[in-house]
A and B are shown apart, each in its own frame.
Chain A
Amino acid sequence: MAFTVDFYEQGRKNVRKTIVLVVVFLVMMAAFGLIIDIIFGILPIFTLIFLVVALVQLLISLSSGKEIVLKSVRAREARQDDPEERQLKNIVDELSLAAGMAKPPDVYVVDDDTVINAFATGRKSEDSVICVTSGLLKQLDREETSGVIGHELSHIVNRDILIMTLISALLGAVVIIQLMAFRALITYVRFGAFGAATRSRRSSKKGDNSTLVILAFLAAVAGLGAAFSFIGRLSLLAVSRTREYFADARAVELTRNPVGLSRALRKIVTNSQKMKTANIATAHLFISDPLKRHINNKSSFFASLWSTHPPIAMRISILENRSLKEVESELASYL
């Protein structure tokens, strides 16, 4: 099937999806707080705390998510006087024209020659950023770089970047609550329970009872947080994987050239090392998993549930219209 997409329509759909995602998430957070409040009869303390944490995370990620991501990977703005970075800027400008963008995204570089990777971030296309590693500039030629930039640009024009940034913020909120509960639990077990025990010797037996209640309470918060982030992560990863295939297809539509991107992906497999400045929270933004986790190269059902990116062999086989087995054995022969 020939692949033609209306970027504008796709972008609007993604904005709607994002709104639904945010609302569902807030409702879930409130429900989570409500369960705890009802079990322990302290309505509405935790419902409020969780909602506030979620909202604060949302606002922060909307107002400065881009800056936080760029800072965390230690990116800097591309220099105009460097010939390679000048070429990169030109390629971004070219493909922005192909995508019909009003303003090309800003270009950033991470100084790491051992890594070939790239990502896009921002809220909307006007304030978006494309960031590549210096290893990508050194090792990929013009055609290959165009493929990668085409992929990143389609994430931007599709508004994928908005949904991805929000997802990491929301997951961050769950992790914060989970951590808070775990820490409180540990502190309580080590000091609080001990203190209560010594006190109970002197006073009544009521202290023991309240200790148990507080322990049960903190354990419940921690457990629910863990279960919740598990579900959240599964859905996040599913969202992230399908988007990569679509962005690949759209990169081909923009550049009219599937070879550039597939050659770039091949070089990522063979020549790229693990990226030191990337982490679990930012990994799903990249074109290929910067942490080089093995799970991302397996295509079994269980592995595909947990991976952030589709297997590169699969992506190459789609781009080059060859069987997966053929590509897998070819890639294996390089390593």
Chain B
Amino acid sequence: MVILFIVLGIVVVLALWIIGVYNNLVTLKKRVENAWSQIDVQLKRRHDLIPNLVNSVKGYMKFEQETLEKVMQARARAVSAQGVGDKIKAEQELGGVLGRLLAIVENYPDLKANTNVSQLMEELTSTENKISYARQFYNDSATKFNTKIEIFPNNIVVGFFGGKFEAFPLFEVTEGERETPKVDLSF
């Protein structure tokens, strides 16, 4: 009788523990998925803003028509890209030419004085930042999730649920993007 109760107790504790781990993983997974969708939202915004900026700087930048065209082409490729791999590649390219355009605009004082242009510039700069921050958050939460499902004993629980919990791919930090600096708090 006593043994039965002990066994029953162990089973209940185990079941509660599995429920805890499972719920924790589901929460984390939702967070990663949400982070991913945030990146999409910001990319969409980038695509919407680019034609506006190009149209309003066209008149001023007679000598930079080539850059403007490159931006529009890269945008078209990014919009029509299919599949995650292609999308990431096209967006990276677009980010590159867009960064160059924003740098060039800085050199035209007339342009910067134009309120419409400077507003668009601010919106695009902000969107570019949002894209990289959204990716940063995605990477942080995906890393956390990936670690959680691999450490012992969580990996056993993950095994029970088959393919429900799989590691998320990470964005690689491209050149020019900032790595986490170190802050020493052991003073």
| Residues in B26-40 with C-beta less than 8 Å from chain A | 31, 35, 38
Q: Check A249–B179 contact: CB distance below 8 A.
A: no
How far is the CB of A245 from the nearest CB of chain B, in Å?
A: 7
Please tell me if A164 contacts chain B, counting CB pairs below 8 Å: no
Chain A nearest CB, measured from B34 CB (Å): 8
From B115, B134, B180, contact of A97 by CB (8 A): B134
Size band of the A side of the interface?
20 to 34
Cβ of A99 within 8 Å of any chain B Cβ, yes or no, is yes
CA of A87 to CA of B38 in the docked complex: distance in angstroms?
Answer: 20
CB of A90 within 8 A of CB of B31, answer no
Contacts of A257 in B (CB 8 A): 178, 181
Chain B interface size, under 10 / 10 to 19 / 20 to 34 / 35 or more: 20 to 34
A283 within 8 A of B: no
Determine whether the beta carbon of A318 is less than 8 Å from that of B183: yes
Flag whether B146 is at the interface (Cβ < 8 A): no
A89 to chain B: closest residue by CB: B126
Contacts of B119 in A (CB 8 A): 83, 86
- B residues near A97, Cβ cutoff 8 Å: 38, 42, 130, 133-134, 137
Q: List, in ascending order, chain B residues with CB within 8 A of A99's CB.
A: 137
- The answer to whether residues A94 and B137 also contact, given A3-B185, A252-B183 and a CB cut-off of 8 A, is no
For residue A12, give the distance in angstroms from its CB to the closest CB of chain B.
12
- Contact check, A253 vs B122: say whether CB atoms are below 8 A apart: no
A95 with B133: CB separation less than 8 A: yes
Residue in chain B with minimal CB distance to A258: B181
**Smallest CB separation, A322 vs chain B (Å):** 11
Q: Quick check: B35 and A100 within 8 Å, CB to CB?
A: yes
Q: How far is the CA of A6 from the CA of B28 in the complex (A)?
A: 12
A319 at interface, CB cutoff 8 A: yes
Question: Mostly helix, strand, loop or mixed at chain B's interface?
Answer: helix
Given A93-B130, A258-B183, A318-B183: A98 in contact with B136 (beta carbons within 8 A): yes
B129 within 8 A of A: yes
Digit string of A24-64 for contact with B (CB within 8 Å is 1, else 0)? Answer: 00000000000000000000000000000000000000000
Instruction: Name the A residues within 8 Å of B130 (CB-CB).
Output: 93-94, 97
User: B residues within 8 A CB of A246?
Assistant: 185
Q: Which of B133, B136, B185 has the most CB of A within 10 A?
A: B133
Contacting A318 at CB < 8 Å: which of B115, B134, B140, B187? Answer: B187
The B141-187 residues at the A interface (CB cut-off 8 A) are 141, 144, 178-187
Segment 89-120 of A: residues with Cβ below 8 Å from B: 90-91, 93-95, 97-100
Tell me if B67 counts as interface (CB < 8 A to partner A): no
In the complex the two chains form, is A86's CB within 8 Å of B137's CB?
Answer: no
Give chain A nearest CB distance to B5 CB in angstroms. Answer: 33
- Digitize A236-270: 1 where CB-to-B-CB distance is under 8 Å, 0 elsewhere: 00000000011011001110111000000000000
List of A residues within 8 angstroms of B118 by Cβ: 83
Q: Is the CB of A3 within 8 A of B31?
A: no
13 A-B contacts (beta carbon < 8 Å): A3-B182, A3-B183, A4-B180, A90-B123, A90-B126, A91-B126, A94-B126, A94-B129, A97-B42, A97-B130, A256-B180, A258-B181, A314-B187
Closest 3 CB pairs of A and B: A98-B133, A90-B126, A256-B178
Which residues of chain A have a CB within 8 Å of any CB of chain B?
A: 1-4, 6, 83, 86-87, 90-91, 93-95, 97-100, 142, 245-246, 248-249, 252-254, 256-258, 314, 318-319, 321
Please give 6 more A-B residue pairs, beta carbons under 8 A apart, in addition to A83-B118, A90-B122: A97-B134, A98-B136, A98-B137, A249-B183, A252-B181, A253-B183
